Amino acid sequence: IPKTANGPADEAADDLTLLAERHLVQPWPVSGSIGAEARGRLDAGEGIYVTDASGRRLIDGPAGMWCVNAGHRNRELAEVMASQAMELSYNSPWYTTNAPSVILSARLAEHAPDGVDHVFYTTGGSSAVETALRFMQFANNVKGRPEKKLIVSRQGGYHGSTYLSASLNGRPRDHDWMDSASDLVVKLSCPDPFRRPDGMSVEAFCDFLVEEFRQVIEEKGADRIGAFIAEPVMASGGVIVPPPGYLRRMQDLCRRNDILFIADEVVTAFGRLGHVFASKEVFGIEPDMITFAKGVTSGYFPLGGVMIAGRLFEELRRSNHSEAMFAHGLTYSSHPVGCAVALKNLDILEGGLLAHARAVSDHFQQSLKALEELPLVGEVRGLGLMACVECVADRASKNPLTLDLEVGKRIDRHCQELGLLVRPLIHMCVMSPPLTISLEQIDDMVSILRRGIELTMDDLTREGLW
Ligand code: PMP
């Protein structure tokens, strides 16, 4: 986001740029600019819009990072945060509890699949995934089967940035320069129907994916596999909607082999797919654990958690190790302010926002789908209010445009000029706006995106790159 060069506000902007370059380390930096980078600054937000440092208003296409579900500047969320902070700003979860976290647990249990009725709160998605995995390890230790700890994840998946959660990630950049606990993880193929092998039907592709998992279980042994983790719709991997029936069939294999199914709903929960949790309502699955974060507070407060099936605790209570401690907790587990915000956010979702998200999602998907007319676009796919526009160099071969062209960044630059923030992922643009978006705003968003792609095609043609 470029800044203009006049007036005192701009001097302040320059100062902040300098300070950021000197002192701030941004997440996901590259070594060429690590610790010396100032990213485009946002100063304000209102509804689906954000305002950048130059005063320009932009549609927040990715809702921050898939999280500002109730939209920016929601007064109810802001007020409940302030009033809870004035009431009880913090309590130690080590020896006390608070009302908002208890009430929230019961309300979340009402939305989760039957029996998935307990919640462990964390500070975000990575810590939620970490908690689910450590709980699986703990439970298998207590149950006297310490060998049953392998975790099965998928290529293309993203589950976090702590050591164990990051070890599950399946995008090359997550492992190129980073260490991981690779001996604990087995990765299956990405369930991406667009990139299925040539000549294979979607149904046959689904059979292949399920068979691959079955073979892994056979090879490694069911007695060594503790959990399977999957985002119901892979988010950062490019909004990958798996083939119909895939998740249910993977769940069947888990059930038959006593493998815990962890649905990572950090993105898909809290309205993104029109429901509080998507597992049962959208995909007909009933996971043993569901991780969530982001939309639980619409991004107003860092909070996450894991929903856990109560029967898993019953099994532990029946074991012979009543003294075994699940030595895992966070200073901010069950934070009263976070839970109060989440309760209000749930009121907003139940009070009409879920219904609104469901009502506008067809228009959202169809309008974006029309961008497939553009020759640069290989596929537009999505579900609910999340979608991805994948650009290809050549439609027949589905070749992605190469990294050095940075097509997503080019589109994003044009769109920002026109009033839309895009989330570029190399050659893909992900759209997941605040759920409050209206039909007219969807039209605005899509027409800016269309123009941004057209301008990018012009640039690539002029530069002889495409
Ligand atoms: N799981 C999924 C599916 C995610 O998309 C993310 C974050 N993008 C995480 C886990 C990690 O969440 P956090 O960044 O809050 O730690």
367 Cβ inside 6 Å of ligand 1? no
Q: What is the pTM of this model?
A: 0.96
And the tokens for 80?
């409940």
For residue 165, give the ligand 1 atom closest to its CA: 10
Three-state secondary-structure class, residue 101: helix
- For 376-405, write each residue's pLDDT tens digit: 999 999 999 999 999 998 888 888 777 678
Sheet with 260-264: list strands edge to edge.
118-122, 304-308, 289-292, 260-264, 225-230, 150-154, 185-188
CA–centroid distance, residue 199 to ligand 1 (Å) = 34
CB contact at 8 A, 300 and 343? no
CA–centroid distance, residue 261 to ligand 1 (Å) = 17
* Interatomic CA distance for residues 312 and 141, integer angstroms: 13
SS (H, E, C) 104-120: HHHHHHHHCCCCCCEEE
Q: Which residues contact 68 (CB under 8 A, 6 or more apart)?
A: 45, 60, 298, 299, 434
Per DSSP bridges, beta strands 185-188 and 423-425 are unpaired
**Terminal Cα-to-Cα distance of the chain (whole angstroms):** 26
- For 136-146, write each residue's pLDDT tens digit: 999 999 999 99
CA–centroid distance, residue 392 to ligand 1 (Å) = 27
Interface predicted TM-score (ipTM):
0.99
Element (H, E) at 353: none
Which of the listed residues 28, 68, 126, 303 should we mutate to test ligand 1's pocket, taking the one with most ligand atoms within 8 A of CB?
126
- For 234-276, write each residue's pLDDT tens digit: 999 999 999 999 999 999 999 999 999 999 999 999 999 999 9
CA–centroid distance, residue 266 to ligand 1 (Å) = 6
The one-letter amino acid at 122: T
Q: Compute CA distances 462 → 191, 378, 448, whole Å.
A: 36, 21, 21
- For 342-370, write each residue's pLDDT tens digit: 999 999 999 999 999 999 999 999 999 99
262 Cβ inside 6 Å of ligand 1? no
CB contact at 8 A, 36 and 26? no
117 Cβ inside 6 Å of ligand 1? no
Which of the listed residues 154, 159, 164, 279 should we mutate to test ligand 1's pocket, taking the one with most ligand atoms within 8 A of CB?
159
Burial 242-258 (b: 16+ CB within 10 A, else e): bbebbbebbbebbeebe
CB contact at 8 A, 70 and 342? no
CB contact at 8 A, 36 and 21? yes
Q: Which residues contact 1 (CB under 8 A, 6 or more apart)?
A: 40, 41, 42, 52, 53, 54, 56, 416
- For 7-32, write each residue's pLDDT tens digit: 555 566 679 999 999 999 999 999 99
131 Cβ inside 6 Å of ligand 1? no
Q: How many helices (H) and strands (E) does the chain have?
A: 15, 16
- Tens digits of pLDDT across the chain (466 residues): 344 445 555 566 679 999 999 999 999 999 999 999 999 999 999 999 999 999 999 999 999 999 999 999 999 999 999 999 999 999 999 999 999 999 999 999 999 999 999 999 999 999 999 999 999 999 999 999 999 999 999 999 999 999 999 999 999 888 899 999 999 999 999 999 999 999 999 999 999 999 999 999 999 999 999 999 999 999 999 999 999 999 999 999 999 999 999 999 999 999 999 999 999 999 999 999 999 999 999 999 999 999 999 999 999 999 989 999 999 999 999 999 999 999 999 999 999 999 999 999 999 999 999 999 999 999 999 999 999 999 998 888 888 777 678 899 999 999 999 999 998 888 999 999 999 999 999 999 999 999 999 999 999 999 988 8
Q: Compute CA distances 183 → 136, 142, 175, whole Å.
A: 16, 22, 14
